[in-house]
A and B are shown apart, each in its own frame.
Chain A
């Protein structure tokens, strides 16, 4: 396997980008990520992006966003209608082929013009489920109640996850929900939004984007003092239907973590930090359990940035997890890190990326 590393990243997340287009959002982020390692677009071997037309309300909206790259003369480029983490996976595969040494990955989501919780219903089974328009909060609540009533967690456990996120998020300029002194009691005192979930249990909805530069082998060492090497990366998928799987589990997360660990040569929980892409505290618990991260009292520091619970940008939150984990490695704060991204309803799809310093 060819050595590939994350050598730079740029992140911007806010509550709403009212007067900013996707292109205007991405111009400074893409330039920041390229400038940090002294690259221009002409130096980039492959560009891959992730976004969703349903957020923009416009078909093929990603084509316009290429304006932010400066795609002239024409560039080698691809797009996934998924989170940018999955675009990063495609770029990683492209780098494995060996014909290029650098790649730019970016993704973005501006969900504030529409009703995000309702837009997400269109990803469900279009015959028997989507016509009922179950919104994303309701679907997350169905999953959370199963978890609570299974006895695996208590409401206090979930509140503790919310507290962990908000406390870790202090100092993260992209976090929408951060507090140094929030307590479990504070969270439990919050009103129920989608029974049994409270507002603090649901990821904070954010507009925003992320750009990441990847480089292979010695090129990465030239560009970056301490590259965050991708030692293992894997993407697995469970069945789509909500009724055909046990929603208290995410077998594809465990499998992706195991496969990534095989490649990496170290266990998925043999890391210093882990960044999780969860839509709710209940999902964060399921993920930590599936990947053996040991929960709030374990040795792995979970969501040092606050995780997606603190700022959840559709189509970018997964790539942000990878960027945040890579920053911990490149900054020397962590030797090894796990980054996770999900897609589909109730953790249907899971990607695990294991990073390591030199």
Chain B
């Protein structure tokens, strides 16, 4: 590949707000109030964090009990460097910690300087955040127990408990990817910089697919032949959008997105239609590419600002749209 490979940061974010229900909600409410609670099943076994259902029987567990905020490390590892998205900025221990009064261990960080300070059996106590909202990160982590550990716990418990129970929590997820387009997509994008639009021709039946993906999707075979496509085509289908897309201030509403069927291509691809009244856009309307000025061209499909009417006679509606997928009446079926 001659030009430098294209790449882009791809960031996926899921801004989840999760309802907690009464059992997990009690745990989160407890954290907000500086206490740790678990759920106790009939035989007295206490789960921390509280289990909503008995993992062995599937029975609901609703008995909420408070446990100590001190406990013992049952197993541990050392995390260095700290992971992106985690609440810790420094290398830290990560452990399953069984709190006093609990029968199951919970996962959390251990705040010590090095792995040498970690040990199975280490006694630890909770380190609380000053501002607490009802979230697992209300605990900064756990630190080796000090003599006044129990006193600190008592102090927290004596604070007046106020406010409504926690009913939901925010658990945003952010994942980052280094997105590198396929070789076919790289060639396609670089061609845009030369005001060319490329497609892939099927080695089986000659159908042309745009954008080129390196395969003929109908036959499941590799497609390597690139073809230059015309900058004219027709509208196969369209949609008038009146609601703005968050983050797309460059796209004033209302706008028309359409499947553009280029002359010589057998499937459509997405584009904006402009240069006419919204009411004039119709299936079969002939359009041509309106390119950015030459000095603004880059390796991007955004080089085509939009598609405008050519004024030519329409493609009849029954001939408009995809040709590659029309079945027995299509040119390539």
Q: Point out residues on A near B: beta carbons under 8 Å.
A: 18-21, 23-24, 27-28, 30-31, 41, 54, 57, 66-73, 113-115, 117-119, 121-122, 125-135, 138, 141-143, 145-146, 149, 194-196, 239-245, 247
Contact = CB atoms under 8 A, between A and B. Distances in A.
Contacts of B28: 127
B18 A28 contact: no
Contacts of A122: 173, 175
B15 to A, nearest CB: 13
Given A128-B49, A138-B79, A68 B176 contact: no
Nearest to A194: B77
Contacts of B216: 70
Contacts of B5: 19
Ranked nearest first, the 4 interchain pairs of A and B with the lowest CB-CB distance are A70-B220, A239-B55, A67-B217, A141-B77
Given A19-B181, A127-B49, 6 more contacts: A24-B222, A66-B217, A71-B220, A121-B83, A132-B109, A243-B106
Contact of B85 (A20, A68, A118): A118
Contacts of B51: 241, 244
B252 interface: no
A57 B175 contact: yes
A72 B221 contact: no
Contact of B136 (A67, A132, A141): A132
Contacts of B325: 72
Contacts of A134: 83, 86, 94, 107
Main secondary structure of the interface of B (DSSP, over half): mixed
Contact of B171 (A54, A127, A195, A242): A127
Interface string B51-72: 1000110000000000000000
B79 A21 contact: no
Interface residues of B, number: 69
Interface in B312-331: 325, 327
Nearest to B325: A72
Contacts of A196: 77
A43 B65 CA distance: 60
A149 B175 CA distance: 34
A149 B120 contact: yes
B254 to A, nearest CB: 26
Contacts of A20: 182-183
B87 interface: yes
Nearest to A127: B24
A127 B173 CA distance: 12
Contact of A145 (B47, B108, B120, B182): B120
Nearest to A72: B218
Contact of A128 (B10, B95, B107): B107
B213 to A, nearest CB: 6
Contacts of B218: 70, 72
A132 B182 contact: no
Interface in B70-102: 74-79, 83-87, 94-96
B253 interface: no
Contact of A195 (B24, B108, B115): B115
Contacts of B177: 57, 113-114
B213 A21 contact: yes
B176 A115 contact: yes
Nearest to B45: A244
B77 A243 contact: no
B169 interface: yes
B107 A242 contact: yes
B77 A145 contact: yes
B259 interface: no
B109 to A, nearest CB: 7
A260 to B, nearest CB: 23
Contacts of A24: 182, 184, 213-215, 222
B12 interface: yes
A113 B10 contact: yes
5 contacts: A19-B1, A23-B215, A24-B222, A30-B220, A240-B55
Contacts of B48: 243
A353 B226 CA distance: 44
A127 B77 contact: no
B107 A28 contact: no
A254 to B, nearest CB: 16
B201 to A, nearest CB: 16
A28 B77 contact: no
A244 B47 contact: yes
Nearest to A24: B214
A275 B95 CA distance: 31
A213 B107 CA distance: 42
Interface string B249-264: 0000000000000000
A114 B175 contact: yes
Contacts of A118: 83-85, 175
B139 to A, nearest CB: 9
A27 B215 contact: yes
A18 B180 contact: yes
Contacts of B181: 19
Contacts of B79: 135, 138, 194
Contacts of B96: 142, 242-243
A241 B217 contact: no
